[in-house]
Amino acid sequence: MSVLVYIEADNNAVKKSSLEALTYAAKMNAGDVTALVTDKAENLEELGKYGVKTVLQVTDEQLSSRPVSAIASTIAGAAQKAGANIVVMSRSSTVDAVAPRVGVKMSATVASNVVALPQTDNGFVVRRGVFTGKAFADTKLEGENKVLTIAKNALAVDDSAGGSATVEAFSPEYGAKDFAIKVTDVKKQEGDILLPEADLVVSAGRGLKGPENWGMIEELATTLGAATACSKPVSDMDWRPHHEHVGQTGIKVAPSLYIATGISGAIQHLAGVNSSKTIVVINKDAEAPFFKSADYGVVGDAFDVIPKLTEALKKAGV
Sign of CA dihedral 199, 101, 189, 261: negative
Predicted local distance difference test score (pLDDT) of residue 191: 59
Does 251 show up as a binding residue in the annotation? Answer: no
Question: Is residue 245 within 8 Å of residue 201, measured between CB atoms?
Answer: no
Same domain, 82 and 155: yes
Q: How far is residue 32's CA from residue 195's CA, in Å, rounded to a whole number?
A: 32
Number of domains making up the chain: 2
Residues 204 and 139 occupy one common structural domain: no
Examine the domain organization and report whether 59 and 163 are in the same domain. yes
pLDDT band (50, 70, 90) for residue 190: low
Neighbours of 131 (CB within 10 A): 9
Residues 242 and 293 in one domain: yes
**What CATH code is carried by the domain that includes residue 31?**
3.40.50.620
> CA–CA separation, 166 vs 118, rounded Å?
27
Query: Looking at residue 305, what is its pLDDT?
Result: 97
Shared domain check, 284 and 147? no
Task: Let me know whether 121 and 221 are in one domain.
Answer: no
Flag whether 218 is in a domain: yes
> Quick check: is 155 in a domain?
yes
CA distance 288 to 285: 5
The CATH number for 252's domain is 3.40.50.1220
Q: Does 26 appear as a known binding residue? A: no
Tell whether 186 is covered by a domain. Answer: no
Q: Is 268 annotated as a binding residue?
A: yes
Contact between residue 148 and residue 125 where contact means Cβ atoms under 8 Å apart:
no
Cβ pair 297, 288 in contact under 8 A: no
Distance from C-alpha of 244 to C-alpha of 232, rounded to nearest angstrom: 9
Which pLDDT score, from 0 to 100, does residue 10 have?
A: 87
211 shares its domain with 138: no
Question: Are 253 and 276 within 8 A, CB to CB?
Answer: yes
Residues 161 and 231 in one domain: no
pLDDT band with cut points at 50, 70 and 90 for residue 302:
very high
Per residue in 256-290, pLDDT (tens digit) is 999 999 999 999 999 899 889 999 999 999 999 99
Does 187 reside within a domain?
no
In-domain check, residue 297? yes
Residue 185 in this model has a pLDDT that exceeds 80 = no
Q: Which of these, 154, 132, 189, lies nearest to 16 by C-alpha position?
A: 154
Question: Is there a binding annotation on residue 269?
Answer: yes
Q: Is residue 13 part of a domain?
A: yes
102 in any annotated domain: yes
Q: What residues have CB less than 8 Å from 34, skipping those under 6 apart? A: 2, 3, 4, 5, 52, 53, 54, 55, 56, 78, 82, 84
Segments forming the whole domain that contains residue 215: 195-315
Instruction: Convert 179-206 into a string of H (helix), E (strand) and C (coil).
Output: CCCCCCCCCCCCCCCCHHHCCEEEEECH
Q: Which residue has the higher pLDDT, 184 or 35?
A: 35
Q: Is 264 annotated as a binding residue?
A: yes
CA distance 146 to 293: 34
Q: Does some domain include residue 126? A: yes
Reported confidence tier of residue 34, pLDDT bands at 50, 70, 90:
very high
pLDDT-derived band at 189, boundaries 50, 70, 90? low
Query: End-to-end CA distance of the chain, in Å?
Result: 44
pTM, 2 dp: 0.81
